[in-house]
Amino acid sequence: MKKFLTIFTWLLLGLSLFVAAQEVKVLSEEIDFRGDINQSQRKTIILHNETDQSQTYFLKNLRGNIGSSQNVKICIGDNCFDSKRDLAKIKINLAPGEIMTDMYLEFEMGIMETRGSFDLFFVNEKNIREAFVVEAKYDVKGPTLAEEGFTHDAISITDVYPNPSQRIAQIDYEIKDQDVKARIAINSFIGNPIQSYTLDPERNTLLINVSDFNPGVYFYTLFVDNKNVVTKKLVVKK
């Protein structure tokens, strides 16, 4: 009996150590690349250091099925690294409590229709038992599919994704006329204003935190120079 209690105590300690190891949380939802052959897409990864200490993580490996004509790059700010050749160079430094939003995955779709998934396994530089995983999947179609999104003389913009969304919704855009003022306004299903975001011409991604939104249907509208250009639907779920 004494031996059993000793083993049970060690199991509890081991479990508590494992739970405590979850110090960095991935806030972005599963990364989903969908597009045509030969396309390249970039998705944002959002990380949160939930501790009161600085943390450094490195990419230990990329797991999954990546085709020979496909490629995954990891970009931190303006620096991009090949996930295969530059494995040892990919490090993430997080200040205490920091929410990191300038990390991206850039995925080259390849030359054939296919689908699959992969994940990035990051471990703590000081303790490899502390780890987090970024999950991603892809679906590559032939070039006959129509492109999603909307194109205007002054701006090109994608549909919001993921949709439905639980935490972070993303819209990618490109402002072609630097003199215009573009913004996204979000309204409730009955038309009440919820939030408004000015689109920065120096950036190409708008991140919308919907975690505080009530579940339901919303509408987001693109305004260019205060003119209503297009309105689409956003679904928020819990």
- Residue 103's pLDDT is 93
- Residue 14's pLDDT is 46
- Residue 152's pLDDT is 80
Q: What is the DSSP letter of 148?
A: P
Helix (H, G, I), strand (E, B) or coil at 88: helix
Residue 35 to residue 106: CA distance in whole angstroms? 13
- Residue 22's pLDDT is 61
Task: Please tell me the chain's helix, strand, coil percentages from 3-state DSSP, rounded to the nearest 5.
Answer: 10, 55, 35
- Do the Cβ atoms of 42 and 71 come closer than 8 Å? no
- Do the Cβ atoms of 59 and 122 come closer than 8 Å? yes
* Low-confidence stretches of the chain (pLDDT beneath 50): 2-21, 144-147
Angle, CA 224 vertex, CA 219 and CA 230 arms, to 5°: 35
